[in-house]
Structure 1
Amino acid sequence: MDTNNMFNGEMFNLNMFSKKLSNEEIKEMARDMCSGVEETHGEVRVMKWEDVLLKTRTGNITEIDTRCKIVHLQVKLQQTEEKLNETLTELEQSKEETSTCNSELESKSQQLNETLGELAQTKEDKETYRRGLENKSQQLNATETEKETTIKELDTVTQELNITNTALNQTQVELKQVKDLLEKAKDCPLNTTISSYWDLLYSTEFFGAVITSHKLEVLTKSIEKLEYFEGTRITDGIIQFFKMFHDGEDQCLS
């Protein structure tokens, strides 16, 4: 303070503000000297009464007990209690929120574990499916190989069947020729003279007997296609057929 200026009187709760206070704010301060309303203005209060009380004093200054300290303490205590209650309420809410968060976190953790289990099962199923697909591919390749082999074998069998059919057709033609010649040889007279090696069949060993493998061994060295007649009984007609067919003697057919 300026020491050249003297002040005579009482001073209490001197505050200076950086803004113009409204009429309502001034009335609120004047209503009760111990209300402490000035403290609600915060940074707008640029000079505070509690700071003035700390300044060096000169002259005859007497402090008067206004009992505002007690009121201020009561007010601050009340405010502190209100803040404490608010804090306790917020703390309780925070505990409830924390409990809710813990429950949600536990639920999320359980869901995460279930998801991880499902993911592991999915990976295992995927691997099983991959192995199954690989086996199916191998089986398919083996089947294709077997198919190609079967087709080749079928082609070979078809070729052999065609050859067999050709031989069968030729045999049927020859058999028809034999049947025709046998039919023509029915009326040939019994030949009692040996004019051909077929006359050997008139001997006791052959005539009237059935052609067997043993008898064929005697004749097949010089006679072709005699095996067609295995199981046939040797008769005069058979002998005449052999003589006409192999010797060119067809007097009975002229």
Structure 2
Amino acid sequence: MSPLQNALTFCSWVKSLSSNSHPTWLSYATSSHQHEILITDNGIYNYFLGTNSDLSSEINPSKGTWNHHCTSWSTSSNTRKVYFNGKLVGQGATTSRTYGLDGFLFFGNDNHYDGSSRDANEIFGGELFKVKFFAKELTGEEVLGMKEAGLCSDVEESYGRVRYLRWEDLLLEQRNGNITEVEPGCPARTCPTEKETRNETEEPTPGSREGRNDAAEESETECECEEKKEITQWDILYSEEIFNRTLTVDFPEKIRSYWDILGNFVGVTITESVITHFKIFQSCRD
């Protein structure tokens, strides 16, 4: 949690399916602080740095529907803000301390730190999708943008390294209990055909340089779509040992298979925009 000690936003799409009184979908606790984070899908628990706000009058999800939950905070504001479906439904002052470290992050029940205690009334019993932690206090506009982009969008990917804990990473972690993966119902994304791409770039207003650039950018963005789902090796570029370093011919062996792409950029510094360019180069070069 150390990168999140001074600023944090956590969000998730949550589908409520349980009639338990306190269906807890997220909790974080340390040996010193039992309720650093404790969130239920019905708004009863919104524990944050040990203090709860009962927002059940504002958060009353219908069973079986997806809802967008977010909570944001930073030491600069010392204010916790709770958003439900993009709307600010509660806020309040918090203690001036930072988050405790070396705790346990749980999904699906209360976390009593020792890992042995559970409460049957706090079993979540629903569905989660795209749980993510940002090392930043997101604004209300940014939270609303994620909600309006919808369940099936990739809008969170635009935050790059600020999206510190990613849904893709959570899916790789060890799981215990009655947990089943189900499809969220999102349609498969496909890149445009060569003919579609050519038509898009040939149709801007004659003589309009701006029109041609916009069309080219749109085709590049669309052409990234399949790559985003399949190429996880790009995450290596975001690692501490590589990001903000200059690319040399001694690039780590673990991504040698991408040298035909990366070799074109020897001498540049690995930044957010450069990685984006790598992705476009990989997915559109043919």
Which of the two has higher C-alpha Rg?
Answer: 1
Could you state the TM-score of these two structures normalised by the residue count of structure 1?
A: 0.29
Task: Give the strand-richer structure, 1 or 2.
Answer: 2
Task: Give the helix-richer structure, 1 or 2.
Answer: 1
**More RCO (CA 8 Å, sep 6+):** 2
